[in-house]
Every structure is written in structure tokens, then in C-alpha cells.
């Protein structure tokens, strides 16, 4: 059923107005939660029963989707969207740029009377062909066959985006090349979920579960961010071009007093959070917790966990809305991992677990001996996975911003390890020694298949906050994820390495004559071989770096050195076997990451040079002029007057100006040198890291010293103190 466009309807549509949803006793959250999401409730209500059932089968079990079904769904989706004011639809996808992409198309189709009807076909729902030649493809798509296509991902609900563009129906899609090679972050994530499901179901069958059809990776991310005043932001080219400050002297007050953490949220920020929550709730994004974080002007938002795919889409939506809503409040949201030196940066805690289609959390120890044994198998599979593929986990969280954070005593080190807590570690150690595991409080013991595991502590006070991957009672919290990055990549790796471990275990268990004793044997072997990855101590300490080296754990300190692991033989074998990445897709990602790193450093260096030459130097020179004038004037009153202290200041300014000019010349020379390396991307990226980055730090030193010397009125941009305490 098509509907004629009605002008007054369009005008009546109050766009972008959150006041439409004031929360009061009549309009409680549950009344508008998910109103802009084409979720299960809407589908159930609007689709004929047989169509709904068929679509659910595709969503829940991965059954292929028939074109006739898509046709009906498209029509229902269109009617629903138009009723809510939509004029356009867009395939919404996640190319390898780190942000989402969309191309809006209106629903209109002309009639012979010079009018339009609103149309949206099954074909348009299922497949789109954006002219996608300008997205990074890492060589997967030569320009002469630049076509990429988007394909509907029906496992993540379509949603309506309301903003000044109007109301747009956004359809989550994957983005592939003409040959079906992944050009995005979502495709590999979906493939990895499939691989994990397949292997986990095998294990569950062995434990006697005949009902489960699929398992899902579940993810609940915690998103950190900064808010600063928009007017101040606009005065800083570094923030505008790179998302982080490239200059800035240490402010008199940073986070020393730890008085920002969990502090009552100020009104301006509260108003922003309230509007953000309402926007997210309308979209069906379950914004749950919010608080002030450690650094001044730093905050956090966490959602309730859901399947990895939806969590990933929702996290992208969250990042977009953080920026959008901040803008409406005269604020700017900084998602960069390290916007400011001297204070903490931002990350994302990726809480990850696996659950059956009927909601059983497989990382929950359970309360029966059988559940315990099954839990220990999944737990050990994870331990083995992390110990066997630490490099892949490391590269999955690598981005230029995270290089400033990991290992800087505010975030986990670059060394991957696992925190299990004392009790669980003890139990595993005892199982390794073949003895019956005893619980620390004495009255519970465990021999797999005989008795039950003691309840494991889920109390957050007991947690190790320094661990990169911590077991927190019934899930793993992967804490190295960059705040601005997609969570698709780390979850793709977590899912795939887990699938590999489970496959190896399932292969053995399926052949075993005595199931129970094979389970024990496997656990014992894994504990013997892989417990080196478990570390319950302080990950920020120097001793751990030494200890990790002794244990043979890799310490990959920067993004550039992590990237080659993507194309290592071991990775190719793993990803190809589980159908997550082909060799050419891996090669493409390798190229794209290197390129992204090189470009990011180039942009940062160019911004630094620009600011140093056109802002910092002129201000400093002007100040030296002012000092010289002062000296001359004083001397003109009487030569007897002692100007040495002013001369001293002048001396310092002139010295730092000279050093700054030297550093500028040096950085420029290095940038010229680096552009000659464009034929060898890896070499080029290493040069950026080792030479350009170092030269940038050197330049910054002199500029920051000048900031502490030069007249405040002459300083060309807001300082750290102003940026961090403006709201
Ligand atoms: P905190 O770490 O602040 O104590 P919680 O333990 O409640 O908070 O959870 C933190 C995050 O972990 C939330 O986003 C939550 O939804 C998510 N989470 C909880 N259980 C799971 C699970 N089984 N799988 C994935 N994420 C989960
Ligand atoms: Mg956390």
C-alpha cells in the first residue's frame, strides 16, 4: 500500500524535538522505549503471521530469506516509517573508516499525474549499491569495478533517525565488494558469531543439551567520553583536526584529588545526558548507567548487554548521538582515547559472554555438577584461546589513539593476560594436580561430575581493575578496547579464537570413550599448558612487565608492531578455517590499518606545524617584543634600574623560540623523508612511529614551555585548565 505524500503532514512533523517525549506519569519510559525501532513487537504486530514466523526463523536460526518475504517486510517497514514521518530510507553500514555511512534515498516514485507515491520494495530493502569507490578497500576493489553493495542484516532492527534531515529509516546492512568480500566491520563479526555458535552447540550437545539451536556472543560495552565547551573547541585546531590536544601545558589541577569520579553530575551535563538517554531509548538502545569518570570533564555511559551484533550497532548509534546531542547543548563530545595529556584517557570496556538461544549464560558456573563441568570447559576454552592468540587480541584494539593509553598506567598494559580471581585460579590449580578442588571457605569441594563449584564472587570490590581481560563472575571484561573504535573487531577476534578452542575440544570429546574422564583430562591439560596467561596481580607494575617476559607473553607496545600479526600464517589459518576472513580480506585490513596509522600521524604532524608556525611562534615573538620594549622603556627612565629579571624571562622565551623553530625544521624534514617511503607501507608506518612521533613530542615540549612563559592575553588558544573546567 503506497501512500500519497501530504505536505501538511510533513510540516506537522516536529523533527528533532525531544520535548515530544517529556517523561511524566502518563508518558513513562516504557511507553516510548523502542518507538523508533522496527523491533520484534512491531514486526509481530504488523506482519502477517506466516511472514513473521519466516522472518524470525531467518533472524534466530539463520535460515535463508525468501524474496517474497522481504517484499512483505519492506512494505510493512515503509508504512511504519512513513506513519512516523519518514521521507527517506538509508542502508546504514560500517565501512573500515571507523564510523558509519549512509546514503539517503527518498521513498518517492512519480505517477503519470505528476504526483508521487511512496514506494519501497523488497529488493531495495535487501540490497543497495552505493557508489562506494571512496571507502577504504585495501585493494579489494579496483576502481574499474568499484561497485560495492550493501545487504540487509535482519538480525539487527531497522530504526528511525530523527534529525534536521527529517526522519530517515535506517536499515542495518553489511557492506561487501562485488565478489562478496567484506569491506566493513559487520560482515566478519556476523561470520565470527556463526563460527562460535557452530562450535559451542557441538559442546552443548555433548553435555546432553538437545534443544539449543544457536548460541550468541553477548556484549555490553561501557563507553567513556569527554565533554568540552563548543566555543573553546572551535579555537583549537588540534581538537578539530585530530580529536586530541597536540599542545598544552600541565594545568594546576588535573585528577590528583580524584574528586570528579562519581561526583554529582552538574546540571549542564545532566541536561545533555537526559536528552541523550531519551534519544537512545526511542531507538531501543538500553542506556542504563551514567557517571562522572576519573578525569575532569570525563563521563561514562553503559548499556545493557545484548547480542554482539546489536551491541555493536548500538554502540555506533551511541557514539553518533553522543556527538549529536552534545552539539545541541553547546558542547563537543570527544571520543578520542587520549584527548589530554596528564590525565586519564578514555576506553571502552567490552563485557563479553556467550549465551544459548534460551538465555542460559555459558560462562555462569551454574549450580549442578554437570553445569559446573560444562562451565569449566568453556572457561578453559577461553583461557586456551587467549593464550594462543594474544597478538590478535592486541591488534584488535590497536588504533592510533590507544597507543597513548595502553601501558601508560591508566589503562591495561600492552601485554595480554587474564584475571580469574584467586578462588577460580585455586580451583583450576587443584584440578591440574588431580586433587579434589576445595573452596577457600572450606565447606565446598569439587570433583568434576561429583560435586558442585562453590559460588564465585561477583562482588565488584573484589575485582582487579588493572587487568586487560578480567573474569567478573559470569563474563569477561575486555578493557583494552579504544573509546573511539568499533567493538566489532575485538568481538570478531574473541568469537573466532573461542570457536577454534571449542572446535579442538569438541573434536576430542566426540571421539572420547569415557566422556567424563576426557573432560577432566582436557581441563588438566589446558591448565598445565595455558595458566601462564593468568595473572591476578597488578598489571600496571614494572614487575609484571618483567614477569610476563619470563612467561613468554608478547608485549606489543604500539599499533604498528601489532598490525603484521593480522597476516601471520597462524592468523590466516585460523580465520580461513572458520570462514571469518579470507586471505585477501586479511591483507586488505593489514593495508588499511597501516595506511590509517600513517595518515593519522601525518595529519597530527601537519596540524602541529600549522599551530606552531602560525599561532605559537607569532604569540611568543610578540611577547618577546613586549618584554624588550619593557626593558628599553625602563632603561630609558634610568640606566641604573636593574632589568636582569625581565631579561631573564626574555632569555627563556627566546631560547624556547629558537628550540621550537629547530624542532619545526626537524619535523618538516622528517615529513619530507617519510613521503618518499610510500612504496613500503610497513616501513613508512614504522618511520611515522619512531621518527615523526618522536619529533612531535620534542616540538610539543618547547611549545608547552612557552605556554607557561607567555602572557595569557597573547596565547592563541584555550589552555588545558580552560578546556577541562569550562562546564
Ligand atoms: P559493573 O562492571 O559496573 O559492576 P555490571 O557487572 O552490571 O557492571 O555490567 C557491566 C556491563 O556488563 C553492562 O553493560 C552489562 O550489561 C554487561 N553484562 C552483564 N552481563 C553480561 C553478559 N552475560 N554478557 C555480556 N555483557 C554483560
Ligand atoms: Mg567496567
Mean pLDDT, the chain cut into blocks of 10 residues (727 residues total):
39 43 73 93 96 93 88 95 96 91 92 92 88 77 70 95 91 90 94 97 96 96 97 98 98 84 88 95 95 93 97 98 96 98 95 95 85 93 98 97 85 89 87 67 52 59 78 94 97 98 98 92 95 93 93 95 97 98 96 96 98 98 98 95 96 98 98 92 96 97 98 97 93
CB 3, CB 117: distance < 8 Å: yes
Query: Of how many residues is the chain composed?
Result: 727
Rounded Cα distance between 198 and 223, Å, is 30
Report CA(475)–ligand 2 centroid distance (Å).
11
What pLDDT does 60 receive?
87
What pLDDT does 18 receive?
44
Closest atom of ligand 1 to 219 CA is 25
Closest atom of ligand 1 to 353 CA is 24
What pLDDT does 254 receive?
85
Q: Whose CA is nearest to atom 23 of ligand 1?
A: 353
Taking the CA of 475 as reference, the closest ligand is 1
- Residue 170 pairs in a beta bridge with 90, 159
Tell me the three cell numbers of residue 224.
567513556
> What number of other Cβ atoms are within 10 A of residue 514's Cβ?
9
DSSP one-letter string for 18-74? GGGS--SSSS-HHHHTTTTB--HHHHHHHS-HHHHHHHHHHHHH-PPPPHHHHHHHH
Report CA(466)–ligand 2 centroid distance (Å).
11
- State the DSSP H helix or E strand holding residue 159, giving kind and residue range, or none if neither: strand 159-163
Closest to 470 (Cα-Cα) out of 430, 416, 431: 416
Rounded Cα distance between 475 and 361, Å, is 9
Tell me the three cell numbers of residue 91.
542502508
361 touches ligand 1 (CB under 6 Å): yes
Which residues have a beta carbon within 5 Å of ligand 2, which is an ion? Answer: 222, 349
Specify the 3-state DSSP secondary structure of 331. Answer: strand
At the topology level, CATH places domain 193-245+257-581 in Creatine Kinase; Chain A, domain 2 (3.30.590)
Closest to 86 (Cα-Cα) out of 173, 165, 145: 165
Closest to 197 (Cα-Cα) out of 216, 182, 222, 178: 216
Report CA(302)–ligand 1 centroid distance (Å).
9
Ligand 1 pocket mutation, candidates 475, 476, 494, criterion most atoms within 8 A of CB: 475
What pLDDT does 445 receive?
52
Rounded Cα distance between 436 and 449, Å, is 11
At the topology level, CATH places domain 595-724 in 1.20.120
CB 596, CB 570: distance < 8 Å: no
Q: Whose CA is nearest to atom 19 of ligand 1?
A: 305
What pLDDT does 406 receive?
87
Rounded Cα distance between 92 and 77, Å, is 15
Closest atom of ligand 1 to 303 CA is 14
The CA angle 15-16-20, to the nearest 5 degrees, is 85
pTM of the model: 0.94
Reported in sequence order, the residue ranges of 178-242 that DSSP labels E, i.e. its strands, are 215-229
218 touches ligand 1 (CB under 6 Å): yes
What pLDDT does 457 receive?
59
What pLDDT does 15 receive?
39
What pLDDT does 139 receive?
78
Closest atom of ligand 1 to 472 CA is 6
Taking the CA of 469 as reference, the closest ligand is 2
Burial of 679 per CB tally in 10 Å (0-12, 13-18, 19+): exposed
Report CA(290)–ligand 1 centroid distance (Å).
13
Report CA(295)–ligand 2 centroid distance (Å).
16
What residue ranges do the domains of the chain occupy? 33-183, 193-245+257-581, 595-724
DSSP one-letter string for 168-197? EEEEEEEEEETTS-B-BSHHHHHHHHHHHH
350 touches ligand 1 (CB under 6 Å): no
- The CATH number of 33-183 is 3.10.20.70
Amino acid at each position: 500500500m503506497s501512500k500519497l505524500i501530504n505536505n501538511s503532514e510533513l510540516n506537522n512533523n516536529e523533527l528533532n524535538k525531544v520535548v515530544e517525549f517529556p517523561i511524566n506519569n502518563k508518558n513513562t519510559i516504557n511507553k516510548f522505549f523502542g518507538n523508533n525501532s522496527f523491533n520484534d513487537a512491531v514486526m509481530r504486530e504488523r506482519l502477517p503471521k506466516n511472514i513473521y514466523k519466516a522472518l524470525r526463523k531467518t533472524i534466530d536460526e539463520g535460515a535463508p530469506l525468501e524474496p517474497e518475504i522481504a517484499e512483505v517486510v519492506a512494505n510493512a517497514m515503509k508504512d511504519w516509517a512513513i506513519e512516523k514521518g519518514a521521507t527517506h530510507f538509508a542502508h546504514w553500514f560500517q565501512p573500515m573508516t571507523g564510523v558509519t555511512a549512509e546514503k539517503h534515498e527518498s521513498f518517492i516514485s512519480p505517477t503519470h499525474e505528476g504526483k508521487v507515491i511512496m514506494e519501497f520494495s523488497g529488493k531495495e530493502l535487501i540490497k543497495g549499491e552505493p557508489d562506494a569507490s571512496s571507502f577504504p578497500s585495501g585493494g579489494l576493489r579496483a576502481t574499474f569495478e568499484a561497485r560495492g553493495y550493501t545487504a540487509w542484516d535482519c538480525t539487527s532492527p531497522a530504526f528511525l533517525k530523527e534529525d534536521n534531515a527529517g526522519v530517515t529509516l535506517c536499515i542495518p546492512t553489511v557492506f561487501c565488494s562485488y565478489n562478496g568480500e567484506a569491506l566493513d566491520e559487520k560482515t566478519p563479526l556476523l561470520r565470527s558469531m556463526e563460527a562460535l555458535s557452530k562450535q559451542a552447540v557441538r559442546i552443548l550437545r555433548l553435555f546432553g543439551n538437545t534443544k539449543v539451536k544457536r548460541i550468541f556472543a553477548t556484549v555490553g560495552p561501557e563507553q567513556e567520553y569527554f565533554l568540552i565547551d563548543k566555543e573553546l573547541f572551535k579555537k583549537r585546531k588540534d581538537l578539530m583536526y585530530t580529536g586530541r590536544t597536540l599542545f598544552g601545558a600541565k594545568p594546576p589541577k588535573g585528577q590528583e584529588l580524584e574528586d570528579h569520579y562519581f561526583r554529582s553530575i552538574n546540571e549542564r551535563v545532566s541536561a545533555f545526558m537526559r536528552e541523550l538517554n531519551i534519544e537512545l531509548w526511542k531507538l531501543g538502545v538500553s542506556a542504563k548507567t551514567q557517571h562522572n569518570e576519573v578525569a575532569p570533564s570525563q563521563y561514562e555511559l553503559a548499556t545493557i548487554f545484548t547480542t554482539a551484533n546489536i551491541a555493536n550497532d548500538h554502540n555506533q548509534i551511541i557514539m553518533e548521538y553522543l556527538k549529536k546531542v552534545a552539539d545541541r547543548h553547546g558542547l563537543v563530545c570527544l571520543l578520542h582515547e587520549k584527548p589530554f595529556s596528564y590525565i586519564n584517557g578514555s576506553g571502552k570496556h567490552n563485557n563479553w559472554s556467550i549465551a544459548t538461544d534460551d538465555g542460559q549464560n555459558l560462562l555462569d558456573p551454574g549450580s549442578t555438577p554437570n553445569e559446573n563441568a560444562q562451565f569449566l570447559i568453556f572457561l578453559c576454552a577461553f583461557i586456551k584461546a587467549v593464550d594462543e592468540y594474544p597478538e590478535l587480541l592486541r591488534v584488535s584494539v590497536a588504533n592510533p589513539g590507544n597507543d597513548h593509553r595502553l601501558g601508560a598506567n591508566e589503562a591495561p598494559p600492552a601485554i595480554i593476560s587474564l584475571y580469574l580471581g584467586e578462588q577460580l585460579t585455586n580451583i583450576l590449580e587443584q584440578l591440574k594436580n588431580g586433587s579434589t578442588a576445595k573452596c577457600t571457605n572450606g565447606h565446598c569441594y569439587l570433583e568434576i561430575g561429583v560435586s558442585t563449584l562453590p559460588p564465585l564472587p561477583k562482588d565488584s570490590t573484589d575485582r582487579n581493575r588493572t587487568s586487560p581481560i578480567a573474569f567478573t563472575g559470569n563474563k569477561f571484561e575486555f578493557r583494552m578496547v579504544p573509546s573511539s573504535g568499533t567493538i566489532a573487531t575485538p568481538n570478531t577476534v574473541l568469537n573466532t579464537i573461542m570457536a577454534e578452542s571449542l572446535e579442538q575440544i569438541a573434536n576430542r570429546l566426540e571421539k572420547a570413550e569415557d566422556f567424563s574422564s576426557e573432560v577432566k583430562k582436557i581441563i588438566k591439560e589446558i591448565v598445565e599448558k595455558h595458566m601462564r596467561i593468568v595473572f591476578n596481580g597488578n598489571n600496571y607494575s614494572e614487575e609484571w612487565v618483567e614477569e610476563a617476559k619470563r612467561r613468554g607473553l608478547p608485549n606489543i607496545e604500539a599499533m604498528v608492531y601489532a598490525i603484521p600479526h593480522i597476516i601471520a600464517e597462524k592468523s590466516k589459518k585460523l580465520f580461513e578455517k572458520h570462514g571469518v576472513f579470507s586471505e585477501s580480506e586479511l591483507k586488505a585490513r593489514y593495508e588499511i590499518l597501516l595506511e590509517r596509522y600513517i595518515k593519522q600521524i601525518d595529519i597530527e604532524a601537519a596540524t602541529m606545524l600549522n599551530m606552531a608556525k602560525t599561532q605559537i611562534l607569532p604569540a611568543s615573538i610578540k611577547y618577546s617584543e613586549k618584554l624588550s620594549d619593557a626593558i628599553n622603556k625602563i632603561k630609558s627612565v634610568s640606566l641604573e634600574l636593574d632589568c636582569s629579571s625581565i631579561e631573564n624571562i626574555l632569555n627563556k622565551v627566546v631560547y624556547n623560540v629558537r628550540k621550537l623553530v629547530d624542532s619545526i625544521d626537524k619535523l618538516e624534514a622528517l615529513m619530507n623523508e617519510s613521503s618518499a617511503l610510500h612504496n613500503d607501507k610497513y616501513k613508512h608506518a614504522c618511520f611515522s612511529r619512531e621518527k615523526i612521533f618522536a619529533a612531535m613530542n620534542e616540538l610539543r615540549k618547547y611549545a608547552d614551555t612557552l605556554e607557561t612563559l607567555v602572557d595569557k592575553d597573547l596565547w592563541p588558544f584555550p589552555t588545558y585548565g580552560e578546556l577541562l573546567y569550562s562546564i
